[in-house]
Amino acid sequence: MTAALYLLRAGVKTAMIEKLAPGGQVLMTSEIENYPGFPKGLQGWELADKFANHLEDYDLERINDEVRSIEVGSPHHTIVVGEENVQAKTIILATGSRYRKLGVPGEERLLGRGVSYCALCDGNFFRDRDVAVVGGGNSALEEALYLARLVNKVYLIHRRDDFRGLVCYQNKCSTHEKIEIIRSTVVEEIQGEADVETLALKNVATGDTSQLKVDGAFIFVGFEPIMDFVPDDIHKEKNGIVTDVEMGTNVPGIFAAGDIRAKQCRQVASAVGDGATAATAAFSYLEQLDV
Ligand code: NAP
């Protein structure tokens, strides 16, 4: 949305292709406390809405469908969207990332029956019940805190002793009366007949195994970039598309911004910065083409 805003303001004819609703992972985030300008924090959907509203007064073409593939060309690239082909001289890839699965038995089978990857979407189903949160990054810590407002008890299970997430979230979790932290422990299986009933746990330090009775298992073990539709011409690594500092890929005219990029910092603030940078570089590229 930032890239679209900058392109439109530069006078570039712009289409924004979106499969679902604008906002991506932000829509699944309960509370955003670190986006500058909002010191009291705000809900993910509120921030996404503000971004979307910012585009209202511009002449933006909106295409609501899924991009299936991209064919690299010159001077136009072709984007296959649903059954249609869209021609564009420049493309900014900003499809973000999707949650990573834990990959243990029972996870697929009990999805939607106690296994969840979205506390905001499913937390309400577990009011006054006991749930586990698996992971040790910012997502796990933040979402454990969100769930603790709703449920009876949160077991926060992390495979190491030290957490990856920010110290401010660690402190809140470790002092929260409803959160019990289980360290150096992995989930080996999610068990239950119709719904999640127990987790089979293993302490990686001692080798001890145990069973934990829970009604829900919320998995937050990281994200992976959404780039299945990105052609082989574009240089990518396991954790995303490789870009230069101007967000350019190795293919002239194709840029990438946000969580789809191979990078370390995955924040709304950095995604916004990437979007502005990519749009500025795309505008310069278009100007050169027209010379
Ligand atoms: P993350 O930072 O990659 O952390 C993933 C966590 O899951 C790690 O603690 C990792 O353990 C654990 N893990 C990975 N695979 C596992 C497995 N198979 N079994 C058990 N545990 C496993 O992912 P994230 O928390 O989703 O965050 C993604 C990015 O978004 C990060 O850059 C994060 O900073 C950012 N983010 C920021 C905020 C914020 O600033 N408020 C909020 C949410 C996300 P190890 O630690 O042992 O590797």
- Residues 10-26 have pLDDT tens digits of 999 999 999 989 999 89
Are 127 and 147 in the same domain?
A: yes
Are 205 and 113 in the same domain?
A: yes
Are 62 and 8 in the same domain?
A: yes
Are 132 and 211 in the same domain?
A: yes
Are 105 and 197 in the same domain?
A: yes
Other beta carbons within 10 angstroms of residue 40's beta carbon come to 6
| Contact indicator for 94, 3 with CB cutoff of 8 Å | yes
Q: Give the residue whose CA is nearest to atom 19 of ligand 1.
A: 102
- Residues 74-108 have pLDDT tens digits of 999 999 998 899 999 999 999 999 999 999 999 99
Tell me what pLDDT residue 29 has: 86
Q: For the chain, give the mean pLDDT.
A: 96
Atom of ligand 1 nearest to the CA of 135: 7
Tell me what pLDDT residue 270 has: 96
Average pLDDT over residues 50-77: 96
Are 37 and 176 in the same domain?
A: no
Average pLDDT over residues 170-175: 97
Atom of ligand 1 nearest to the CA of 266: 32
Tell me what pLDDT residue 235 has: 98
Provide the residue range defining the domain that includes 212: 101-219
Question: Could you tell me the two tokens for 25?
Answer: 């992972």
CATH of the domain at 167: 3.50.50.60
Are 211 and 227 in the same domain?
A: no
Cα maximum dimension of the chain: 69
Atom of ligand 1 nearest to the CA of 103: 18
Tell me what pLDDT residue 69 has: 97
Average pLDDT over residues 110-116: 95
Looking at 192, 219, 246, the residue that finishes a domain is 219
Residue 189's pLDDT band (cuts 50, 70, 90): very high
The pocket around ligand 1, CB under 6 angstroms, is made up of 34, 102, 134-140, 142, 159-160, 164, 186, 220-223, 266-267
Looking at 171, 204, 219, the residue that finishes a domain is 219
pLDDT at 290 over 80: no
Tell me what pLDDT residue 74 has: 92
C-alpha distances (whole Å) from 187 to each of 105, 107, 148, 173, 226 are 10, 10, 20, 20, 26
Q: Domain count of the chain?
A: 2
Are 119 and 228 in the same domain?
A: no
Residue 203's pLDDT band (cuts 50, 70, 90): very high
Are 106 and 205 in the same domain?
A: yes
Looking at 172, 187, 219, the residue that finishes a domain is 219
Cα–Cα–Cα angle for 238, 242, 244, nearest 5°? 160
Catalytic residue among 49, 122, 173, 195: 122
Tell me what pLDDT residue 121 has: 86
Least confident of 160-164, 263-267, 282-286: 263-267
Question: Could you tell me the two tokens for 14?
Answer: 């712009």
Are 198 and 111 in the same domain?
A: yes
Best of 203, 266, 274 for a ligand 1 pocket test (most atoms within 8 Å of beta carbon)? 266
Tell me what pLDDT residue 195 has: 97
Cβ neighbours for 208, distance < 8 A, ≥ 6 positions apart: 202
Average pLDDT over residues 260-271: 94
Are 67 and 169 in the same domain?
A: no
pLDDT at 28 over 90: no
Residue 49's pLDDT band (cuts 50, 70, 90): very high
pLDDT at 281 over 90: yes
Tell me what pLDDT residue 216 has: 98
Are 45 and 180 in the same domain?
A: no
Q: What percent of the chain has pLDDT over 90?
A: 94
